[in-house]
Structure formats: C-alpha cells, structure tokens
C-alpha cells in the first residue's frame, strides 16, 4: 500500500512554520543584523563584538560551569534517592516519591524567591534561628548557593529516572559479577553504573539543558549572588536598555550550539559506555538495617525540607504576611483578596494563564499526537526531517525560542498582526512544549502495531476515521498525561511570557515576577501559592479520575 | 587443565556436601531436607519438573540465597549453616555460574566479560589476555573477542557465558538451564559440545535442567527433585533402571505403573520399552503374555507405540509392529524380572 | 502497576525519548534543511503584505511610569478627544526595548520616557517627528525641551539618595556625598535601581560618569565590592528600604520617595552638595505615526495646566510655570539642589557605551570580593 505524502508534508509545514522558521530566522539575523530591513550589511558584526567583549566570555564560562555544577549536584542528590526507591525495602516509598514530585511541581523561580525570603537578612531563617551565621548567608548568595537552589528543584528528575532504570535492571548482572568475586563497590562501579548510564545521562542532560537555559533562578538570585549568566544577559539585551538585538541573537545561537553539543555528547557517551537496552528482570532488593533505614529517611527528609518544606513555608507565610519589618509578621488574607478582586490584575493574570494553558495543552496534544502518528507511520528522509524538527524545541532553550519568535513575527513581511497579542504567547507555548506531547504519543504508538489500523482500513475506514476511532482511543492515557504535563508547564512558563507579553496583560508567572521586581513579595507569593495550588489540583483530579476508571489506567 | 589439581582423584573424598538444606519463601517450603555429597570432578544434574526448587537449590549453593536450615560444606569449609549463623557471601565462595539467560554484561565486549573475573582475582594484564584467549579458543569464539553481546547469536552468547565462567577456574561450576533459551536444534549440538568441554576441564559442576536427555548426556549423577525434595540420587543408569519412587519412574522415560498384587502391595513399574505387542500369540517361555485389544496407536517412524487394554480399565503402553491397527486383538508380552516393585 | 509508575507518568516528560542513536542525529542535521524549507515556504506565503492599516481614531502610547499618572492622562485624553488610546506602561528600558523590537513593524505613536537621554537617542536615530511649537509651550520651562522640538519635557524629577530616618544622622550626614556611599559608608545596606530598567537611574549614572570620568568606575566597582545591591526597578529598591533590607538608595527618584513620605514612611530624600541629577520626562512623537495630528494633540494635552496639575499631584516637578509643585515637595525639597552638569551632546554620544559598560562591569558583573 503506497501512502500519500501530504500528511507528512503538512506536518512538516506546520512544524517548519512553528519552529523552523523562527530559528532559521534567528540564526540568519545573528549573522546579518539588518536582515529585517532587507539589508545584508554588518555581516558577523555581533559575533565580532561578542569576541571583543571579555565579559561575555566570562558569562559563557559561568553559564556552563553553573549548569554543569547543577547537574553534578542533582546527580549526587538524585542517584541515592533513585537507589533507595528501586533497590531497598525502605518503608513509605510512596511518600518518598511524592516528596520528589513536589519540588518538580514548584517552578524554580518560585523556589528561588522563597529561598531569598528564608536567607535574606531579617528573613525567616533569621527569625527561626535567631540569626543565620553570616558565612552561611554568604555561601547561599554565591555560586554554590544558587547551584543548590536549582539542583534542589531538579534532582527529582534524576531520582525518578534512576529509579525507573534500577528497578528494571535485572539482578543477574550483579549476581554474575559477585559470584566471580567482585566486591560491592566494584560491582556498582563496573556493572551497575555503566548500565545506568543512559538513565543518568538522559536525566542529567535534561537538568543541564534546563539550567543552561534557565532564566528565572539567575534573574532572581543572579545579581545578588554575583553570578551573571547567559540567559539573563540575553533577556536584558532584548528587554531593557540599551537594547542590542543583534548581540542577543548571536548569544542565543551560541546557547543553541551548547545545547546541541550536550545533546549529541550525551548520546555519544551513552553509545560508547552504555550497554543499550536491557531486558527487565527481577531486581535485587537490599534489606536496610534499622540504622540505615533511619539514615535514609533522614536523607530524604532533609532533602524534602530543603527542596519543598522550607520554600513552601516561606512562600505561604509571606503570602499571608500583613506587613514586613521586625519579628514574625501579623497574618492576613488581604493579598489573596486583592488577587481575587474582580477586575484586578491578579485575577486577570489567573484567567489569562488558565485559558492560555488549557488552549495550548489541548492544541499540543491534538496536533502533537497527529504528528507523532504521521511520523511513526511513514518512512524515508522526510520522516527524518520531521523527527529532527520535532526534537528541536525540547533542546532549544526557551529564551532562545522566545527571541526567535519575537524576531520572526515582527518581521516586516509578516501579514498576521499576532505580535503584541496573546496569540503570540499561545504560539510560543505550543512551539516550546509540543515535543512533550509528541514524545508521549510516540512512546505509545511505537508499541502499537500497524495491523490494528490495517484491520480498520480493510473495512473501508478512511484516514480520519482510523485516526479518530482506532488511534486516539489507544493513545488516550498517554495523551491525558501529556495534557496535564503541558498544562502545568504552561501555567508556570516565565521567560517566554515575560518577553512576548502583550501590553497590559499578565500571566501568573509574569505577575509573580513583576510583583517581585516591584518589591511586593507578599502579592508575588500569594499568586505563587495560587498557581501551585491550581496545578496540584489539576494533577490530583486527573490522577483520581484515572485511578477510578478501569481500563485506561494502565500504561 | 582448568580444574584445580587438588580436585582430581576419585578416591571417594567429599568435595561438596549438603545436609538437610531447607529454604522457605514466606510460609511455603521450597526446599526441604536436601542431602547429597559430591566428589571432586563429578557433575551433578538437578532434574525435576518446573517449580520443584532446582533454581532455588542452585542459588543456595551459589550463596545468592541463604539456607534456612541444614549445612553446606565445600572441601571442609562451612559455607552455610543456619543453626551456626554462617553464610559465606557468594563472592567469597570461588564458584562460577552460567545463567539461563546468559547475563552477559551488555556494556562490555566479549573479552571484557571474560576478563572481568580475572581482573577481580588480580590477574595481571598479559596473563589475563592469555587466559581470555584460551577461554575463547576453548569455546571456539576466538574471532569474537571485540564484539558486544548484543552483536552475538544466542548460541554464541551461551558459549561466551560458559567461557566467562570457566576462565576464572572456579572450584565449582553452577549451570542453571544453560541451554533452555536456545532452539531445539542448537540445544542438541551444544549439549554434546558442553559435555565434552566439561569433561576436558574436569571441573566439578552442578547442572540444572528439566530435560532428561540433557541430564543423561551430561550427568555423572542425577538428583531427581520433586516438590522441594530429592527423590533419588544416582548415576543415570541407576535412576533410570532402578527408580526409587513412582515419581522417578514416571518422570524418566515412559513407564507403565500397575498396582502390585495384593500380597506385596505398592506399585509395579514396567518401562514402555519392556513391553512388546504382537499380532500373533507366541510361546510363553518365562515371559508374561496377556491378550488385549489395541486402543490407540502412535506412529514413530521405525515402529509404533500402542496402548493395549488388557483388562477392564488396565492399559499397557508398549511398542508394536508397524501394521498394528486400532481395535485389533493382540498379545502383550513382558519379562516379569524387568518389572520393578516399589513398596508403597 | 506500582504506584510509582502512575506518578511517573505525570511528571513532565522532559525526556528526549529513547536515545535513538545516529539515525535521529542525522535527522536533526537534516532538520536544519527542513527549517530553511519552512522559512522559505512561510516567507513566500506572507511576502509582500505589509502591516495592516490602523483606524485613525486610535492612538498608541508607550509610557514609562508612574503608571497611575500615565493612565489618568491617557484616559482623560481619550475622553476629551473621543478617541481610543492603547496604552503600554513599563519602565523606560522596557519601552525602549519594545520600540527596538518593533523597529521594522512600528506600532507606537507617542512615547513618554523617564529619561532625556533615551529621547535623545531616538532623536539621533531619526525615529522622532519634530513638533516645534506645542500649544502653550511658552508658559513652560523651555530649557527642558529639545531645542529642535523633537521632544518636550512633561515634568522632571531629581535623582538623589533616599535614606531611612533610622540611619540618618543629621550631623554626620548633612554633607553626605555620593562617594561616601559608594566607597562603603553603609556597607551591605545600599541599593541602586538597575539603570537598564530605571531611566532615571540610567540618567544619573550617565551624568555622574561623565562628570567624574574614569574614577567613577573605580567607585562603582568599589561599591559593588562593599555590597551594593542592584534592584530590578525603583519600586523594588523602595520596598527594600521600607522593609529595612537597605538603609540607602542611591539613584532614588525624588517623587517616588516623596509619595512614600506622604504615606508616613520614615525615610528622607537627600541631594548631595556636589549635585543631583535632574531628569526630565520627555514626551515624543514617533516619525512613522499614521495619526500625527492626534499625537500632537496628545503633546498639547500633556502640557496643559490641567494635566500639569496631575503631574504635580504625584510630586513630580511640573514643566508648566503656572503650576506649583506639590506641598510635600515644597516642604521636603524647598530649594532646587545643584545639578550635576551634563553636556547633552556628550551624554548622547556616550550613553550607550556607559550603560553597557555599567551592565557588564558593575550591574551584572561577577565581582571579586
Ligand atoms: N523469591 C521467591 N519468593 C517466593 N517464592 C519463590 C521465590 N523464588 C521461587 N519461589 C517459589 O519456589 C518454588 C521453586 O522455585 P524454583 O525457581 O527453584 O523452581 P525451578 O525448579 O527452578 O523451576 P523452573 O524449572 O521453572 O525454573 C516455586 O514454586 C516458586 O514459585
Ligand atoms: Mg529455574
């Protein structure tokens, strides 16, 4: 059966317009700064300027070192957690897993803000302990402090990935080594670690890319902690004065380059040192002694306190604080009242975020699953292009995507006036997050034979019918998960929202950030609490519904 | 060759000794009262139906599991004794194992897999390489040292797994259904090859299988297991010819189990091949001859197996001529001396 | 299914999918081609069409703070002229950034800055439209306007220091100088609104740097080493001052401080004897505007005594000579401070370089303490 080519072409045009066109334009403009004006002068101007500014070299080194350190710390914190979950008889694992999810649910910039509240002079830390030692404060507002804040909000990914890999890594590999006389340590280093490498590298890559492109944490903590980083620089180059869009585009291109290099680097490492896919089997479970059990709980507990407990407490308390000054603040619900006052900026921000996130998530899931289907059921070089283009948004830093979208949709030849409207933000959300839906759908589709579809095709069902009646229902559980994921990440998306926001509109994230910049931390934290509350609510509702509806819950 | 010098010599010295080994999982007893002795160079095959506890016993021997009761000694060393609270960890037993699914480390090359155990033993690089080469040659895989396990066929993987286990010159080699993941044809070839190889190395080994032809080919002694117990232990001939229990008799080969005469009690075992079926009645010189009706035949190529009803409800299986037909009246003959009486 | 699995499904799957090795890698490389393909397709699709026409009763105003004042003025203007006003309020830096991003697709008709230097920069870039004689311009302080009529001050403010009363020592601090604060008189207790956001702070930094020359940079660096904190914007700095996180704001705009003093905050405004920076708040018309008459009417409107009264009400210095400053201002800044002398031509030539250098070497620099 020869397939028609138009679905894959359509998918290509869609992704090309959404992702390819802005990025191509960004790359071109970094080389030809006057491109939008239709001139080719100033060739490589910005790159030259970049080379001539020593501070930029410092920025780049800082960014790489910081992202690397964050990844390292996440590994140090996450791998033991993963091991405890997968390979020990630690009681209360459900709670441990939840305690890993909570920091993932907390946007890093909110965690960073909360940490400022804890650590700043006269903050909660001082109130609780009667004065944090200055060296500790100094440590917090430094490279390693900022690293720790970021790592605390991302080690959960490492832990969950390592747990997944470890709980499928059959014990015979370890038994075989141990029978040959290998010590526990040697077995771990020579056998377990290399087999875990794909999981470690993949999760590390995510953390690294996230840190490399993270704007919120350095924007909140960077200046104070004396840690200038690349994404913040790009942001300021584009959004504050003196504006230097050309330099921003070349820095963005550089950031892209780093991202791609780390992607291929980690794939290469995994290929060379890892063992490829391993068939799952029964695993070895370590019995913990009472002592070890207590120590493990202490480890997890301390991590939870630092990653969630303390920041959340600071967040909620601040959102309830009447006034700031000496000692514990008096409590009030006034800040929530302000947010929920009809017609207020806060309520407007919540509505904007909600409808944007719902629309973006729905769009991503619908279009993403369709593209994934087209991709899985086609072959040839067009498919490779499609696959590559679909991977791009996940790798390209969000801030770069935002800059690219600004340029692309502000170009003089664009007929649609969507810059300066909320549609621009919608476009950005879809462009940035469609890969998640694609991945979720892909995973299910790959495991699902084509025969089911052929069976329907033989009965005379058309393409659309096959998709709607056969493919979609099978995909449903994956799509629900993709929808929730996309919804949650859109609700908290900061940097693209800040840059693409039309005048006078706020999302919850920009509201929080603006209130922080205006110095109104109570309002910022009230909104942060509301946002996290909404995300958690959506998560819980869907989880409960999924649990109660049999047949769709198994994945 | 590969085996240790001290192990050679079949003078009745005990190499491995199990006494009353027992193992429970939760409340269920998976092993109970396991006793056996193994002489140096011997190859014990654990044979039994699925779920009878073969793997569990092997794992207890290897040290992967600790026994709940009984003792296990190797060359006089106490390896396991639940009563004395002794459990020597598997890495200090000096055994090696070949796993059912090979368990080759996928991230190492073939040579790396084989060399790992030597590395652990602290064998230096040149000696290691020499011994890796030797082991590869032994299993006829010399060209494959640089490959990764994913690039090998099933049979090749199994050879590497065997080479990996033998390369360290283990005191005792444990094999858990090493051929069962292979297809029938390959299994047949590898079976003889493995027997030859193990004979050449002279290594003492314990081999788990549920395939009796494998057991017969490979075993110097067979331990027949059922429901966590050893029903009988002996040479292949002994267990086949002189089954100690009805279970053994029915598990090995095909036997007719008949109720013994009232006076003696117990069960009468009569192997299928001892029963011959004839179309014409013949002289009965010392042979039992019973008339019957053929109820079913099964064509086997060179002969036919037949089920003959000799008495109301009493059916005997035996071999008969190729022109035997269902419904024919026939005569069944057997030598009563070949029938074994098992007391109840 | 173990519970963890269910939870795991809900974690944002930031996975790049299974590592599919070189095949996907080749795909990504080819994706560059695909991107170009997409670009060409889209460009072809959209080429030739310019931005849409705008209705002629719509005025787009981008304005730097204070938001309340800007809102009040635009609303009053919309009402009086029966037109619609689209309005974007932000800091001077953000307004400039937006203008830059929209250079090839302009939208704004009128901009209001909190910085003369910003307006100068736009004038220099040829992006402003001259309006030599706004209605009633004679009754305003002409020296604050652009001599060529490209922009007109709507008001002005002084940039000095704000100090907590608790930290203020009338004897020791009467003659408090910029250098004292920069060189560590209040270590770890000083903040400066980020010049890349706050136009006023930007003007102050430009003025001081030009005034002092190279030694100014040593001062800034020394200040950072002594723990100078750069706030995101004026309000964050003031918030920090009120909470007690800081004792001093350098580069504080007076009208914001006066508003807080009016609310009873225990802080004061201080202009160092060597001079404070005078920051005019110019309004300008962009040269491409499709509604020049409406834009000019807006400028006239802003300079009218009624609107100038509103300017005075938020404690800015009105540009109109007939409108008196607010009572709080008259009480707290009774005499005009000395102004740091600035040569406008030099400021224009140097400002980008200075501000950029300030960002790289001070504001966002990693300072070795
Ligand atoms: N970890 C365990 N927990 C509980 N029961 C177990 C465990 N391992 C094995 N069993 C039970 O112990 C019995 C013996 O298992 P074992 O694996 O030793 O059987 P086997 O003889 O090797 O069977 P097969 O030929 O199928 O491999 C089985 O009934 C099995 O269900
Ligand atoms: Mg078994």
DSSP A471: I
Cα–Cα distances (Å) from B328 to B273, B295, B298, in that order, read: 20, 8, 15
Strand order in the sheet with B255-259: B255-259, B267-271, B340-342
Is C93 within 8 Å of A241 when comparing Cβ atoms? Answer: yes
Is A384 within 8 Å of C238 when comparing Cβ atoms? Answer: no
Element (H, E) at C64: strand C58-64
Is the pLDDT higher at C212 or at A459? C212
What Rg value do the Cα atoms of chain B yield, rounded? 24
Categorize the per-residue pLDDT at C16 as very low, low, confident or very high, splitting at 50, 70 and 90: very low
**Nearest CA owner, ligand 1 atom 12:** B30
Phi, psi values for residue C333, rounded to 5°: -130, 70
Which two tokens mark C255?
A: 């009208």
Ligand 2 centroid to Cα of residue B24, in Å, is 16
Which two tokens mark B4?
A: 């240790």
Q: A271 and A254 in contact (C-beta within 8 Å)?
A: no
Report pLDDT for A554.
35
Subunits with 3+ Cβ pairs within 8 Å of C are A
Distance CA B291, CA B314 (A): 12
Neighbours of B5 (CB within 10 A): 6
Categorize the per-residue pLDDT at C97 as very low, low, confident or very high, splitting at 50, 70 and 90: confident
Pairing of strands C110-112, B86-87: unpaired
Residues 296-325 on C with a CB inside 8 Å of A are none
CB-CB neighbors (< 8 A) of C360 in chain A: 53, 55-56
Residues 117-156 on B with a CB inside 8 Å of A are 117, 120-121, 148, 150
Those residues whose C-beta lies under 8 Å from the C-beta of residue A544, and which sit 6 or more positions away, are none
Report pLDDT for B4.
35
Distance CA A43, CA A179 (A): 65
Judging contact as 3 or more Cβ pairs under 8 Å, the answer for C and B is no
Which two tokens mark B145?
A: 């040292």
- Is A551 exposed, middle or buried (CB count within 10 Å of its CB: 0-12, 13-18, 19+)? exposed
Report pLDDT for C25.
44
Distance CA A236, CA A499 (A): 10
Q: Per-residue pLDDT averaged across B205-228, rounded?
A: 91
CB-CB neighbors (< 8 A) of A419 in chain C: 102, 105
Pocket test for ligand 1, best of B53, B207, B228 (most atoms within 8 A of CB): B53
Q: Per-residue pLDDT averaged across C222-236, rounded?
A: 84
Neighbours of A72 (CB within 10 A): 15
Is A274 within 8 Å of B107 when comparing Cβ atoms? Answer: yes
The response to whether residue B50 sits with its C-beta less than 6 Å from ligand 1 reads yes
Categorize the per-residue pLDDT at C8 as very low, low, confident or very high, splitting at 50, 70 and 90: very low
Asked if the model's pLDDT at residue B67 lies above 80, the reply is yes
Which two tokens mark C106?
A: 């302009």
- Please determine, looking at this structure, whether the domain spanning A57-229+287-323 carries the CATH number 1.10.3720.10: yes
The response to whether residue B55 sits with its C-beta less than 6 Å from ligand 1 reads yes
**Nearest CA owner, ligand 1 atom 29:** B51
CB-CB neighbors (< 8 A) of A238 in chain C: 97, 101
**Nearest CA owner, ligand 1 atom 3:** B25
Distance CA C200, CA B163 (A): 79
Cα–Cα distances (Å) from A4 to A1, A8, C31, in that order, read: 10, 9, 21
- Identical fold between A1-18+333-555 and A57-229+287-323: yes
Distance CA A220, CA A149 (A): 11
Name the residue among C204, C211, C157, C141 with its Cα closest to residue C326. Answer: C157
Report pLDDT for C315.
92
What Rg value do the Cα atoms of chain C yield, rounded? 25
Distance CA B327, CA A85 (A): 67
Asked if the model's pLDDT at residue C14 lies above 70, the reply is no
- Max Cα distance, chain C (Å): 82
Name the residue among B21, B42, B39, B43 with its Cα closest to residue B30. Answer: B21
Q: A118 and A533 in contact (C-beta within 8 Å)?
A: no
Is C27 within 8 Å of A388 when comparing Cβ atoms? Answer: yes
Which two tokens mark C363?
A: 């504001």
Is B106 within 8 Å of A180 when comparing Cβ atoms? Answer: no
Looking at ligand 1, which atom is closest to the CA of residue B57? 18
Q: Where are the alpha helices (DSSP H) in chain B?
A: 54-62, 110-120, 125-138, 154-167, 184-201, 212-218, 236-241, 246-251
Asked if the model's pLDDT at residue B254 lies above 70, the reply is yes
Name the residue among B79, B47, B70 with its Cα closest to residue B175. Answer: B47
Report pLDDT for B161.
92
CATH class of A1-18+333-555: mainly alpha
Asked if the model's pLDDT at residue B265 lies above 80, the reply is no
Q: Give the global pTM.
A: 0.80
Asked if A199 is an interface residue toward chain B (Cβ–Cβ < 8 A), one would say no
Q: Which of A418-432, C47-61, C177-191, C283-297 has the highest mean pLDDT?
A: C283-297
Distance CA A189, CA A441 (A): 35
Cα–Cα distances (Å) from B9 to A40, A437, B12, B202, C361, in that order, read: 91, 68, 8, 10, 85
Ligand 1 centroid to Cα of residue B149, in Å, is 28
Asked if A64 is an interface residue toward chain C (Cβ–Cβ < 8 A), one would say no
Extract the runs of DSSP E, i.e. beta strands, from chain B. Answer: 16-25, 28-38, 43-47, 69-74, 77-81, 86-87, 95-98, 172-176, 204-209, 221-226, 229-234, 255-259, 267-271, 276-278, 288-299, 304-311, 314-320, 329-334, 340-342
Is C118 within 8 Å of A553 when comparing Cβ atoms? Answer: no
C66 preceded by a cis bond (ω within 30 of 0): yes
Report pLDDT for B31.
92
C40 preceded by a cis bond (ω within 30 of 0): no
Asked if the model's pLDDT at residue B129 lies above 90, the reply is yes
Tell me, rounded to whole angstroms, the distance of Cα C21 from its chain centroid: 50
CB-CB: which of C1, C231, C363 is closest to A554? C1
DSSP A190: I
Report pLDDT for A282.
79
Report pLDDT for B246.
84
Asked if C125 is an interface residue toward chain A (Cβ–Cβ < 8 A), one would say no
Q: Per-residue pLDDT averaged across B283-309, rounded?
A: 85
Those residues whose C-beta lies under 8 Å from the C-beta of residue A463, and which sit 6 or more positions away, are A7
Asked if the model's pLDDT at residue C17 lies above 70, the reply is no
Asked if the model's pLDDT at residue C47 lies above 50, the reply is no
Asked if C227 is an interface residue toward chain A (Cβ–Cβ < 8 A), one would say no
Cα–Cα distances (Å) from B47 to B44, B187, B198, B231, C215, in that order, read: 9, 17, 18, 10, 92
Place of tokens 């490209």: C150
Report pLDDT for C128.
93
Could you tell me the residue ranges of all domains in chain A?
A: 1-18+333-555, 57-229+287-323
CB-CB neighbors (< 8 A) of A201 in chain B: none
Lowest mean pLDDT among B13-17, B66-70, B206-210, C97-101: C97-101
Place of tokens 């224009």: C348
Categorize the per-residue pLDDT at C5 as very low, low, confident or very high, splitting at 50, 70 and 90: very low
Lowest mean pLDDT among A260-264, A534-538, C47-51, C308-312: C47-51
Q: What angle do CA C345, C346, C351 make, to 5 degrees?
A: 110
Distance CA A223, CA A220 (A): 8
Distance CA A284, CA A168 (A): 10
CB-CB neighbors (< 8 A) of A206 in chain C: 14-16
Asked if the model's pLDDT at residue C4 lies above 60, the reply is no
In a mutational test of the C interface, the residue from A202, A232, A238, A240 whose CB has the highest number of chain C CBs within 10 Å is A240
Distance CA A360, CA A554 (A): 26
The response to whether residue B209 sits with its C-beta less than 6 Å from ligand 1 reads no
Asked if C230 is an interface residue toward chain A (Cβ–Cβ < 8 A), one would say yes
CB-CB: which of C8, C88, C100 is closest to A243? C100
Asked if B88 is an interface residue toward chain A (Cβ–Cβ < 8 A), one would say no
CB-CB neighbors (< 8 A) of C193 in chain A: none
Judging contact as 3 or more Cβ pairs under 8 Å, the answer for A and C is yes
Ligand 1 centroid to Cα of residue A191, in Å, is 26
Phi, psi values for residue B109, rounded to 5°: -75, 175
Q: Per-residue pLDDT averaged across C346-358, rounded?
A: 85
CB-facing half-sphere around the CA of A68: CA atoms within 13 A: 9
Ligand 1 centroid to Cα of residue B51, in Å, is 5
Pocket test for ligand 1, best of B26, B32, B51 (most atoms within 8 A of CB): B51
Report pLDDT for C9.
37
pLDDT in tens, A330-376: 788 888 988 888 888 889 999 999 999 999 999 999 888 888 888 88
**What percent of chain C is helix, strand and coil (3-state, nearest 5)?**
50, 20, 35
Q: What percent of chain C clears pLDDT 70, i.e. is strictly above it?
A: 84
Is A177 within 8 Å of B97 when comparing Cβ atoms? Answer: no
Judging contact as 3 or more Cβ pairs under 8 Å, the answer for B and A is yes
Report pLDDT for A323.
65
Those residues whose C-beta lies under 8 Å from the C-beta of residue B283, and which sit 6 or more positions away, are none
> Which residues in chain A come in under a pLDDT of 70?
1-4, 223, 275-276, 323-328, 447-453, 455-457, 459-461, 463, 503, 546-555
Asked if C88 is an interface residue toward chain A (Cβ–Cβ < 8 A), one would say yes
Lowest mean pLDDT among A535-539, B153-157, C360-364: C360-364
Residue of C nearest to A228 (CA): C364
């Amino acid at each position: 059966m020869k397939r028609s080519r138009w679905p894959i072409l359509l998918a290509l045009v869609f992704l090309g317009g959404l992702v390819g066109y802005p990025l191509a334009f960004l790359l071109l403009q970094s080389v030809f700064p006057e491109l939008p004006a239709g001139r080719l002068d100033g060739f490589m101007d910005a790159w030259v300027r970049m080379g001539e500014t020593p501070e930029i070299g410092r920025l780049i080194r800082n960014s790489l070192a910081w992202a690397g350190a964050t990844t390292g710390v996440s590994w140090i914190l996450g791998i033991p957690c993963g091991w405890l979950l997968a390979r020990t008889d630690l009681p209360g694992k459900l709670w441990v897993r939840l305690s890993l999810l909570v920091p993932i649910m907390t946007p890093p910039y909110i965690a960073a803000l909360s940490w400022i509240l804890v650590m700043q002079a006269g903050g909660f830390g001082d109130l609780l302990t009667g004065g944090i030692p200055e060296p500790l404060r100094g440590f917090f507002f430094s490279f390693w402090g900022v690293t720790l804040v970021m790592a605390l909000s991302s080690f959960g990914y490492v832990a969950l990935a390592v747990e997944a890999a470890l709980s499928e890594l059959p014990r015979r590999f370890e038994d075989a080594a141990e029978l040959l006389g290998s010590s526990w340590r040697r077995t771990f280093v020579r056998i377990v670690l290399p087999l875990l490498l794909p999981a470690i590298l993949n999760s590390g890559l995510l953390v690294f890319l996230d840190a490399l492109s993270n704007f919120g944490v350095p924007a909140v903590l960077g200046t104070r902690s004396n840690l200038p980083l690349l994404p913040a620089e790009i942001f300021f180059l584009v959004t504050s004065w003196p504006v230097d869009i050309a330099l921003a585009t070349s820095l963005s291109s550089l950031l892209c380059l780093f991202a791609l290099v780390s992607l291929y680097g980690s794939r290469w490492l995994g290929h060379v040192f890892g063992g490829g896919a391993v068939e799952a089997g029964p695993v070895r479970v370590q019995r913990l002694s009472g002592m070890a059990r207590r120590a493990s709980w202490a480890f997890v507990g301390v991590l939870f306190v630092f990653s969630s407990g303390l920041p959340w407490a600071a967040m909620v308390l601040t959102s309830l604080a009447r006034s700031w000054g000496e000692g514990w603040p008096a409590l009030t619900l006034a800040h929530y009242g302000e947010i929920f006052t009809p017609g207020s900026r806060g309520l407007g921000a919540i509505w904007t975020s909600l409808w944007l996130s719902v629309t973006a998530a729905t769009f991503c899931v619908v279009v993403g699953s369709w593209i994934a289907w087209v991709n899985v059921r086609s072959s040839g070089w067009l498919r490779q292009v499609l696959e590559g283009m679909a991977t791009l948004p996940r790798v390209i830093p969000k801030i770069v995507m935002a800059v690219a979208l600004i340029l692309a949709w502000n170009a003089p030849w664009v007929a649609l006036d969507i810059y300066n409207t909320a549609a621009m933000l919608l476009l950005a959300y879809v462009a940035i997050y469609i890969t998640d839906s694609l991945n979720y759908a892909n995973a299910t589709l790959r495991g699902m034979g084509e025969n089911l579809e052929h069976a329907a095709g033989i009965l005379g069902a058309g393409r659309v019918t096959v998709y709607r009646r056969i493919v979609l229902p099978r995909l449903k559980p994956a799509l629900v998960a993709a929808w929730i994921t996309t919804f949650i990440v859109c609700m908290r998306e900061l940097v693209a929202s800040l840059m693409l926001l039309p005048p006078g509109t706020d999302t919850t994230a920009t509201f929080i950030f603006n209130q922080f910049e205006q110095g109104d931390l109570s309002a910022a934290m009230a909104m942060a609490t509301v946002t996290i509350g909404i995300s958690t609510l959506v998560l819980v509702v869907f989880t409960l519904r999924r649990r109660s509806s049999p047949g769709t819950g198994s994945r | 060759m590969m085996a240790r010098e001290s192990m050679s010599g079949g003078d009745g010295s005990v190499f491995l000794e199990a006494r009353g080994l027992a193992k429970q999982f939760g409340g269920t007893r998976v092993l109970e009262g396991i006793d056996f002795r193994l002489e140096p160079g011997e190859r014990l095959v654990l044979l039994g139906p699925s779920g009878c506890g073969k793997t569990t016993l092997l794992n207890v021997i290897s040290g992967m599991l600790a026994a709940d009761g009984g003792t296990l000694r190797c060359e006089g060393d106490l390896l396991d004794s639940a009563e004395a609270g002794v459990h020597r960890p598997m890495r200090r037993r000096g055994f090696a194992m070949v796993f059912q699914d090979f368990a080759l480390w996928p991230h190492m090359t073939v040579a790396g897999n084989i060399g790992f155990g030597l590395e652990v033993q602290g064998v230096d690089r040149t000696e290691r390489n020499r011994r890796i080469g030797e082991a590869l040659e032994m299993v006829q895989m010399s060209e494959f040292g640089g490959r990764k396990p994913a690039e090998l066929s099933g049979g090749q993987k199994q050879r590497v797994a065997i080479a990996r286990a033998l390369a360290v010159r283990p005191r005792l080699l444990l094999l858990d259904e090493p051929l069962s993941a292979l297809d029938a044809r390959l299994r047949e070839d590898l079976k003889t090859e493995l027997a030859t190889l193990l004979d050449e190395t002279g290594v003492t080994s314990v081999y788990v299988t549920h395939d009796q032809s494998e057991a017969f080919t490979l075993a110097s002694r067979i331990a027949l297991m059922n429901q966590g117990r050893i029903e009988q232990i002996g040479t292949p001939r002994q267990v086949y010819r002189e089954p100690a229990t009805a279970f053994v008799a029915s598990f090995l080969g095909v036997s007719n189990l008949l109720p013994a005469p009232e006076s003696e009690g117990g069960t009468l075992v009569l192997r299928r091949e001892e029963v011959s079926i004839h179309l014409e009645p013949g002289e009965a010189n010392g042979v039992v001859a019973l008339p019957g009706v053929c109820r079913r035949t099964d064509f086997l190529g060179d002969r036919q197996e037949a089920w003959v009803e000799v008495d109301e409800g009493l059916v005997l299986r035996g071999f008969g001529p190729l022109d035997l037909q269902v419904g024919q009246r026939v005569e069944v003959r057997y030598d009563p001396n070949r029938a074994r009486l098992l007391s109840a | 299914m173990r519970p963890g699995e269910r939870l795991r499904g809900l974690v944002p799957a930031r996975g790049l999918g299974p590592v599919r090795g070189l095949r996907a890698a080749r795909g990504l490389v080819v994706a560059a081609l695909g991107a170009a393909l997409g670009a060409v397709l889209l460009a072809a699709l959209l080429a030739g069409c310019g931005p849409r026409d705008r209705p002629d009763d719509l005025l787009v105003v981008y304005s730097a703070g204070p938001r309340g004042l800007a809102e009040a003025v635009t609303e009053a203007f919309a009402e009086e002229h029966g037109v619609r006003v689209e309005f974007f309020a932000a800091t001077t830096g953000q307004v400039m950034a937006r203008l830059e991003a929209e250079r090839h697709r302009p939208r704004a008709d009128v901009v209001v800055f909190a910085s003369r230097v910003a307006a100068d920069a736009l004038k220099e870039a040829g992006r402003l439209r001259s309006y030599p004689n706004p209605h009633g311009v004679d009754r305003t302080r002409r020296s604050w306007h652009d001599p060529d009529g490209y922009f007109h001050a709507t008001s002005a403010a002084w940039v000095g220091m704000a100090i907590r009363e608790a930290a203020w020592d009338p004897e020791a601090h009467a003659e408090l100088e910029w250098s004292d604060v920069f060189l560590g008189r209040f270590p770890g207790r000083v903040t400066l609104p980020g010049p890349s956001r706050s136009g006023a702070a930007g003007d102050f930094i430009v003025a001081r740097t030009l005034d002092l020359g190279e030694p100014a940079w040593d001062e800034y660096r020394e200040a950072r080493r002594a723990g100078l904190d750069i706030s995101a914007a004026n309000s964050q700095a003031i918030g920090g001052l009120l909470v007690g996180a800081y004792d001093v704001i350098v580069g504080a705009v007076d009208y914001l401080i006066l508003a807080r003093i009016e609310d009873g905050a225990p802080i004061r405004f201080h202009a160092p004897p060597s001079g404070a920076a005078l920051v005019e708040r110019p309004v300008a018309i962009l040269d491409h505007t499709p509604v020049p008459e409406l834009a000019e009417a807006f400028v006239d409107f802003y300079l009218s005594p009624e609107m100038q009264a509103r300017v005075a009400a938020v404690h800015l210095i009105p540009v109109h000579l007939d409108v008196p400053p607010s009572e709080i201002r008259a009480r707290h800044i009774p005499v005009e401070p000395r102004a740091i002398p600035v040569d406008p031509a030099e400021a224009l030539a140097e400002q980008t370089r200075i501000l950029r250098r300030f960002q790289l070497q001070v504001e966002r620099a990693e300072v070795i303490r």
